[in-house]
């Protein structure tokens, strides 16, 4: 197992390195950020000043070498727009994104599991059919359009919930959070629900499939024969067994929640990392784009590794081993 | 397949229909009312996209036909020269119904094009992995696994950040984001087929690798592939719309459904819902109908579910 983890870490390092090469050199083909910050008819010396300031007067490979040296000591360059370290800007925005993702995950569990259980226990009732039709719709609806429609109905037409920003925040352990104030909670609900929609559908399907399979197994029949109440059978015996796949899948999906938050944050003007990325793409703020992409690659590699290791801990039948190359 | 069905395609004895594999397949497919409805809807959508220039009352991108005075009219309003805008107009005074038909054309062609290219790439790679095995397979499947551990939207977003806007770029990004799904599917079923006796027989007959792979193994892998094609095409259409909405996909000169929705977003706050709402409905109907057809195809083509 230790050997496996070491090898995986080495492979991950190679992937991160390759990604940095692709992203860095790829970005230098697109557009010229200089003219985003100096007007084209500015005097030549001013344009050259901007070029020197960004370090763009050096050849690309030298720029990459400087970036790599900086990256190893935790410096991913300075934002062209804000003039601050890119990593600092991203870590400042990270709590907002993580909060959104966690609330979405919470909604997926709290709404998805009961609905899935119901649909699994009474597969032929009309309520169950409605739930399943809803979950198909949840899979098909494009996230961004649902977000726009949520704003239209709840913010514009009904005026119940605000549609932009984080609202009032409270600082806990140095991190600002929205979900502990009433105003913050009203701000986070729509974006979190929007982000959660796909995952709710997924959890409903997983829970329903698990329930329908488990309900015919011997331990359930035995529990029934013992005369246990239905709520105890479902709440204890059944739920415990169907939770394993649901938890694994949700763990794996957490990364995709962070990826999709780019869309949700743009719609709801939620001040997280995703919105920062989209703004950076529009202004060609290369250091931010590179830093964000590198960070998200690392996050994904870590999530995948943790899930693989947890899997082998939870289920002893799974053996982690190297496929021989 | 059989000589009988070719010579007497419609009727055999006593008016009974000859049972060909295709007919059995069709009969099973149409058993589901929902799937039949979805298929009809899908055909209507595709036809509408194909004949958009004929069906739309206005060419929304011909400046001579569009008047800025007609901008942001709600559904049902009349234009300056008496024409009724069924679905209203957008910020530039374009008839939304015409704009949706044209947008559908762009969305569908981007989705289908990227789907076909990704299918071809994934199929070639997957077949190569399954047939050659060994090192080739290990390397290919490592790359596939690595890519599948990242969400498609992220892969496409990274690529488009690097490539910039444009119709070729978005097709390329969608292909890169999706080929791995096809490769995995093809490899999976090709691995099963490869071990079967008919492949062994073909090898013994001294047939060439190409012939064995393309004429013997590939046709037997098609069923799961068809299902993946439908699902992934729906995905590609949704992905293109999302990327265009984020401003990294198509340029304003190629107004797909995603861009129409995006353009309507700024009018949302003032209650002009229709500019985003109707293109979204068109997008939704397209994706749902493809998904429903795909679902039914999966059930019909899956031998494990055969009664």
Name the residue of chain B whose CA is nearest to A147's CA.
B265
Per-residue pLDDT at B6 exceeds 70: no
**In this predicted structure, which of A142-151, B20-29, B253-262 has the lowest mean pLDDT?**
B20-29
**In this predicted structure, which of A229-238, B52-61, B106-115, B242-251 has the lowest mean pLDDT?**
B52-61
Mean of pLDDT values over A229-249: 80
Q: How many Å apart are CA A236 and CA A215, to the nearest integer?
A: 13
pLDDT at residue B50, as a whole number: 86
pLDDT at residue B1, as a whole number: 41
Has residue A37 been placed in a domain? no
Q: How many Å apart are CA B221 and CA B189, to the nearest integer?
A: 6
The three state secondary structure string of chain B is CCHHHHHCCCCCHHHCCCCCHHHHHHHHHCCCHHHHHHHHHHHHHHHHHHCHHHHCCCCCCCCCCCCHHHCCCCCCCECCCCCECCCCECCCCCEHHHHHHHHHHHHHHHHHHHHHHHHHHHHHHHHHHHHHCHHHHHHHHHHHHHHHCCCHHHHHHHHHHHHCCCHHHHHHHHHHHHHHHHHHHHHHHHHHHHCCHHHHHHHHCCCCHHHHHHHHHHHHHHHHHHHHHHHHHHHHHHHHHHHHHHCCCCCCCCCCHHHHHHHHHHHHCCCCCHHHHHHHHHHHHHHHHHHHHHHHHHHHHCHHHCC
Which of A66-70, A206-210, A308-312, B81-85 tops mean pLDDT? Answer: A206-210
**In chain B, which residues have their Cβ closer than 8 Å to the Cβ of A28?**
none
Contact, A15 vs A297, CB < 8 A?
yes
pLDDT at residue A174, as a whole number: 65
Has residue A194 been placed in a domain? yes
| Alpha carbon B266 to chain centroid, angstroms | 29
pLDDT at residue B12, as a whole number: 45
CA of B134, closest CA in chain A: separation in Å? 8
Q: Which band of pLDDT confidence, cut at 50, 70 and 90, is reported for residue B175?
A: very high
Has residue B241 been placed in a domain? yes
Which of A24-38, A102-116, A129-143, B189-203 tops mean pLDDT? Answer: A102-116
pLDDT at residue A324, as a whole number: 40
Instruction: Enter the tokens of residue B224.
Output: 């799961």
Largest CA distance in chain A: 88
The packing angle between helices B218-246 and A239-268, to 10°, is 40
- Cβ-Cβ pairs closer than 8 A, A with B, add up to 107
Nearest CB neighbour to B242, from listed A26, A144, A289: A144
Question: By the CB < 8 Å criterion, does B148 face chain A?
Answer: no
pLDDT at residue A37, as a whole number: 66
Inter-chain residue contact B268 with A23, CB threshold 8 Å: no
End-to-end Cα, chain A, rounded Å: 17
Mean of pLDDT values over A229-246: 80
Q: How many domains, in total, are found in chain A? A: 1
pLDDT at residue B76, as a whole number: 65
Q: How many Å apart are CA A176 and CA A305, to the nearest integer?
A: 29
Q: How many Å apart are CA B53 and CA B60, to the nearest integer?
A: 10
What is the percent of chain B with per-residue pLDDT over 70, rounded to a whole number? 82
pLDDT at residue B114, as a whole number: 92
Q: Which residues, in sequence order, are CB contacts of A136 under 8 Å at separation 6+?
A: A201, B288, B291, B292
Question: By the CB < 8 Å criterion, does B265 face chain A?
Answer: yes
Mean of pLDDT values over A9-13: 84
pLDDT at residue B3, as a whole number: 44
Per-residue pLDDT at A185 exceeds 80: no
Q: Which band of pLDDT confidence, cut at 50, 70 and 90, is reported for residue A317?
A: low
Has residue A125 been placed in a domain? yes
pLDDT tens readout for residues A49-80:
777 777 777 777 777 887 778 777 777 777 77
Q: How many Å apart are CA B152 and CA B239, to the nearest integer?
A: 8
Q: How many domains, in total, are found in chain B? A: 1
Has residue A273 been placed in a domain? no
Mean of pLDDT values over B225-245: 89
Q: What CATH number has the domain bearing residue B136?
A: 1.10.3720.10
Q: Which residues, in sequence order, are CB contacts of B35 under 8 Å at separation 6+?
A: B29, B292, B293, B295, B296
Give the domain range for residue A150: 96-268
Across chain A, mean pLDDT equals 80
The packing angle between helices A182-214 and A143-150, to 10°, is 130
Q: What CATH number has the domain bearing residue A131?
A: 1.10.3720.10
Name the residue of chain B whose CA is nearest to A307's CA.
B149
Q: Which band of pLDDT confidence, cut at 50, 70 and 90, is reported for residue A40?
A: low
Mean of pLDDT values over B89-103: 78
Has residue A85 been placed in a domain? no
Q: Which band of pLDDT confidence, cut at 50, 70 and 90, is reported for residue B67?
A: low
Has residue B15 been placed in a domain? no
pLDDT at residue B113, as a whole number: 92
Has residue A48 been placed in a domain? no
**Which ipTM score applies to this complex?**
0.77
Q: Which band of pLDDT confidence, cut at 50, 70 and 90, is reported for residue B277?
A: confident
Q: How many Å apart are CA B292 and CA A5, to the nearest integer?
A: 42
Has residue A137 been placed in a domain? yes
Q: Which band of pLDDT confidence, cut at 50, 70 and 90, is reported for residue A294?
A: confident
Per-residue pLDDT at B101 exceeds 60: yes
pLDDT at residue B117, as a whole number: 93
Best residue in B146, B158, B231, B279 for a mutation probing chain A (most A CBs within 10 Å): B158
Residue whose tokens read 């008919």: B198
Per-residue pLDDT at B128 exceeds 70: yes
Has residue B279 been placed in a domain? yes
CA of B153, closest CA in chain A: separation in Å? 7
Largest CA distance in chain B: 76
The three state secondary structure string of chain A is CHHHHHHHHHHHHHHHHHHHHHHHHHHCCCCCCHHHHCCCCCCHHHHHHHHHHHCCCCCHHHHHHHHHHHHHCCCCCECCCCCCEHHHHHHHHHHHHHHHHHHHHHHHHHHHHHHHHHHHHCCCCHHHHHHHHHHHHHHHCCHHHHHHHHHHHHHHHCCCCCCCCCCCCEEECCEEECCCCHHHHHHHHHHHHHHHHHHHHHHHHHHHHHHHHHCCCHHHHHHHHCCCCHHHHHHHHHHHHHHHHHHHHHHHHHHHHHHHHHHHHHHHCCCCHHHHHHHHHHHCCHHHHHHHHHHHHHHHHHHHHHHHHHHHHHCCCCCCCCCCC
- What are residue A79's phi and psi, to 5 degrees? -65, 135
Model confidence, pTM? 0.81
Mean of pLDDT values over A151-179: 75
Has residue B19 been placed in a domain? no
Per-residue pLDDT at B201 exceeds 70: yes
Per-residue pLDDT at B153 exceeds 80: yes
pLDDT at residue B10, as a whole number: 47
What is the percent of chain A with per-residue pLDDT over 70, rounded to a whole number? 88
Q: How many Å apart are CA A253 and CA A119, to the nearest integer?
A: 22
Q: Which residue has the higher pLDDT, A188 or B88?
A: A188
Give the domain range for residue B273: 42-305
Instruction: Give the closest residue to A246 by CA, choosing from A202, A215, A301.
Output: A202
Q: How many Å apart are CA A164 and CA A104, to the nearest integer?
A: 17
Residue whose tokens read 């069709």: B26
**In chain A, which residues have their Cβ closer than 8 Å to the Cβ of B161?**
27, 30, 281, 289, 293
Residues B62, B65, B70, B74, CA torsion sign: negative
pLDDT at residue B118, as a whole number: 92
Question: By the CB < 8 Å criterion, does B34 face chain A?
Answer: no
pLDDT tens readout for residues A109-156:
999 998 988 888 887 888 888 888 888 888 888 888 888 888 888 887
Has residue A33 been placed in a domain? no
pLDDT at residue A111, as a whole number: 92
Name the residue of chain B whose CA is nearest to A280's CA.
B161
Q: Which residue has the higher pLDDT, B153 or A44?
A: B153
Q: Which residue has the higher pLDDT, B206 or A317?
A: B206
CA of A139, closest CA in chain B: separation in Å? 9
Nearest CB neighbour to A145, from listed B149, B261, B273: B261
């Amino acid at each position: 197992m230790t050997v496996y983890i070491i090898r995986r870490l080495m492979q991950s390092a190679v992937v991160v390195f390759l990604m940095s090469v692709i992203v860095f050199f790829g970005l230098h083909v697109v557009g010229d950020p200089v003219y985003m910050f100096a007007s084209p008819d500015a005097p030549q010396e001013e344009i050259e000043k901007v070029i020197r300031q960004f370090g763009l007067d050096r050849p690309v490979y030298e720029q990459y070498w400087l970036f790599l040296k900086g990256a190893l000591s935790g410096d991913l360059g300075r934002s062209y727009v804000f003039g601050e370290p890119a990593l600092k800007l991203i870590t400042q925005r990270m709590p907002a994104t993580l909060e959104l993702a966690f609330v979405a995950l919470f909604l997926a569990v709290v709404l998805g599991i009961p609905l899935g259980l119901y649909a699994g226990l009474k597969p032929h009732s009309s309520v169950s059919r409605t739930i399943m039709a809803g979950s198909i719709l949840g899979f098909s609806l494009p996230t961004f359009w649902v977000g726009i429609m949520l704003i239209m109905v709840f913010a514009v037409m009904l005026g119940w919930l605000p549609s932009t920003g984080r609202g009032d925040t409270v600082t806990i352990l140095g991190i600002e959070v929205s979900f502990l104030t009433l105003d913050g909670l009203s701000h986070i609900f729509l974006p979190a629900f929007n982000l959660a929609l796909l995952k709710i559908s997924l959890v409903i399907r997983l829970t329903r499939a698990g329930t329908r399979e488990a309900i015919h197994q011997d331990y359930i029949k035995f529990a029934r024969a013992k005369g246990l109440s239905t709520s105890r059978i479902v709440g204890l015996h059944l739920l415990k067994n169907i939770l394993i796949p649901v938890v694994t899948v949700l763990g794996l999906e957490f990364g995709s929640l962070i990826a999709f938050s780019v869309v949700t944050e743009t719609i709801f003007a939620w001040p997280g990392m995703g919105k920062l990325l989209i703004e950076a793409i529009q202004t060609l703020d290369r250091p931010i784009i590179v830093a964000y992409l590198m960070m998200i690659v690392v996050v994904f590699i870590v999530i995948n590794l943790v899930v693989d290791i947890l899997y082998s801990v939870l289920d002893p039948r799974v053996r982690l081993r190297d496929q021989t190359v | 397949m059989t000589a009988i069905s070719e010579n007497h395609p419609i009727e055999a004895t006593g008016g009974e229909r000859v049972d060909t594999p295709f007919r059995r397949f069709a009969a099973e497919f149409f058993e589901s009312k929902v799937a039949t409805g979805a298929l009809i809807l899908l055909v209507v959508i595709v036809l509408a996209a194909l004949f958009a220039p004929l069906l739309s009352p206005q060419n929304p991108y011909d400046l001579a036909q569009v008047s800025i005075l007609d901008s942001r009219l709600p559904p049902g309003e009349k234009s300056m020269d008496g024409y009724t805008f069924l679905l209203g107009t957008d910020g530039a005074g374009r008839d939304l119904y015409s704009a949706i038909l044209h947008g559908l054309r762009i969305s569908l062609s981007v989705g289908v094009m990227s789907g076909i290219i990704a299918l071809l790439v994934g199929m070639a790679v997957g077949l190569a992995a399954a047939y050659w095995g060994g090192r080739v397979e290990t390397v290919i499947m490592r790359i596939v696994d690595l890519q599948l551990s990242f969400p498609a939207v992220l892969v496409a977003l990274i690529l488009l950040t690097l490539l910039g806007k444009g119709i070729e770029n978005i097709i390329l990004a969608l292909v890169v984001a999706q080929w791995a799904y096809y490769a995995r599917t093809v490899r999976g079923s090709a691995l099963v087929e490869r071990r079967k006796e008919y492949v062994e027989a073909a090898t013994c007959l001294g047939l060439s690798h190409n012939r064995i792979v393309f004429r013997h193994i590939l046709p037997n892998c098609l069923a799961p592939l068809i299902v993946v094609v439908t699902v992934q095409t729906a995905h590609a259409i949704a992905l293109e719309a999302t990327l265009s909405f984020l401003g990294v996909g198509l340029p304003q000169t190629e107004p797909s459904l995603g861009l129409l929705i995006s353009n309507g977003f700024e009018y949302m706050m003032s209650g002009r819902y229709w500019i985003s709402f109707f293109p979204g409905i068109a997008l939704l109907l397209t994706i749902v109908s493809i998904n429903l057809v795909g679902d039914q195809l999966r059930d019909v083509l899956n031998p494990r579910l055969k009664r």
